[in-house]
Amino acid sequence: MIVDSAVYRAGTRVPLDVETADLAAMRARCGAGEFVWVGMHAPTSDELEEVAAAFDLHPLAVEDAVSAHQRPKLERYDETLFLVLKTLWYVDAEDAVETGEICLFVGPDFVISVRHGEGGALRQARVDLEARQAVLAHGPSAVVYAVCDQVVDGYEQVAAALVEDVDEVELSVFSEDRTNDSPRIYVLKRELSEMRRAVHPLRDPLGRFANGTVHGIDRDAAPYFRDVTDHLSRTSETVDELDGLLSTAFDAHLARISLQQNEDMRKISAGAALIVVPTLIAGVYGMNFDHMPELHWQFGYLWALLLMVGTSAGLLWFFKKSGWL
């Protein structure tokens, strides 16, 4: 479905006397320096085919925009650029990074934005851009900048949420409590991989925009793209750092489990020794022999009890001193 469509001239939205759904008429009304921005959300194949017919979009790019399972990329079809971006948002209760997709068709006199998924709504980006006439005056390049800026800002928000969760994992791993952190560490590493698949491939297109080497993107807009590229690089570094921290936390978690198991075995062994030694003495004195030390002694029974208590006390002192108990 078409969410919004408008014609812009010199950084200002132009009122028209044609239906906004009549895209061919809107494009025909565009003069020099004007362009159309059409925003679509989860369009069907038929809806996108109508837009493709009005703006002469390449069928391969249209097919990619409909399928909505593309990696971030920048391609050129004649005079039209096709840019794919992954949108991200974070569900903290589930430690889950949810993904969507935005496809941009960029021509000399039009921008078609096709959005899939719940996140990454471009309404606010359009409103903010319309309030910045100097930026919007760069034409279709300004729309590309605004969309990329919003998407990368979303990446930074997700990265900030992941930083908090990784900090929680580190505190849990190194706490005195016995915790099972392996499942959460795995989930967070999986979500970081999802984020990496969105962030890393986008560095090349944004870098080319920032260098002003892409035909169809205004070279004067390069400083804006450099700002977005800087934010993207910072987010990429954060993702790599968090992945390394989680790997270290997982190794530390395994080491703590091994250490706890060793401590448990020492305690079990010490406890068993405290039982085995008195049992051995009782077993010896319980054998049916006449010629045994102190067997017919008046205090033999007391002697056996004191021997069991004394050996147990000696073992307990030894285990306490050695740290086994």
What fold characterizes domain 2-256?
Answer: Beta Polymerase; domain 2 (3.30.460)
According to the per-residue pLDDT averaged within each range, which of 90-104, 147-161, 252-266, 287-301 is highest?
A: 147-161
Per-residue model confidence as pLDDT tens digits over 234-247:
999 999 999 999 99
Contact 130, 122 (CB under 8 A): no
Residue 107 or 27, more confident: 107
Q: Report d(CA 248, CA 232) in Å as an integer.
A: 25
Per-residue model confidence as pLDDT tens digits over 111-146:
999 999 877 688 888 889 999 999 999 999 999 999
Residue 291 or 67, more confident: 67
Contact 275, 316 (CB under 8 A): no
- Considering the chain, tell me which residue range(s) the CATH 3.30.460.20 domain(s) occupy: 2-256
Radius of gyration of the chain (CA): 35
Per-residue model confidence as pLDDT tens digits over 248-271:
888 887 878 777 767 767 777 777
Which of 2-16, 280-294, 300-314 shows the lowest mean pLDDT across its residues?
A: 280-294
pLDDT score recorded for residue 298: 63
Per-residue model confidence as pLDDT tens digits over 150-209:
999 999 999 999 999 999 888 888 877 777 888 888 989 999 999 999 999 999 999 999
Integer CA distances (angstroms), 7 to 28, 105, 177, in order: 11, 16, 62
Per-residue model confidence as pLDDT tens digits over 307-317:
777 777 777 77
pLDDT score recorded for residue 179: 78
- DSSP H or E run through 168: helix 140-173
Closest CA to 20 of 53, 51, 46: 51
- DSSP H or E run through 89: strand 80-91
User: What's this model's pTM, rounded to 2 decimal places?
Assistant: 0.79
Pair of tokens at residue 229: 């590229």
Per-residue model confidence as pLDDT tens digits over 28-55:
878 788 899 999 998 888 889 989 998 9
| Helix (H) and strand (E) counts in the chain | 10, 7
pLDDT score recorded for residue 309: 78
pLDDT score recorded for residue 295: 61
